[in-house]
Homo-oligomer: A and B are copies of this chain.
Amino acid sequence: MKLLKCVVRPNALEKVKEALSGLGVMGMTVSEVKGFGRQKGHKELYRGAEYTIDFTPKIEIEVVVGDDLAEQCVDAVREAAQTGKIGDGKIFMVPVDEVVRIRTGETGEAAI
């Protein structure tokens, strides 16, 4: 199984969620993060003191899927989150040894 960590723009969340659901993915876990990268940040100004904020708000979607579905999911996320402008984000694929569903104790792909 694979854990896909998808860092995307905040307003892409809805689309990515739907794209993954379309592939039969039943669950995911989302968190608000701040991204630093090629995309430049913004300036803030408070009584003459200028701050450059390098971070831009991003959403990280973590989703664990079976090995067979992983590639498809990557493509789906990419399609849903792509605008072509700098700052679209990344997908990191990390190996997962085991998954447990807390409610039932099921493990492996059955637990996803």
Contacts and interface: CB of A to CB of B under 8 A. Distances in A.
A54 interface: yes
A28 interface: yes
Given A33-B30, A55-B30, A96 B100 contact: no
Nearest to A58: B29
B74 A103 contact: no
A54 B94 CA distance: 26
Interface string A22-54: 000011111111111110000000000000001
Given A8-B102, A30-B55, A90-B100, 8 more contacts: A27-B37, A28-B35, A29-B58, A30-B34, A74-B100, A84-B103, A89-B102, A90-B101
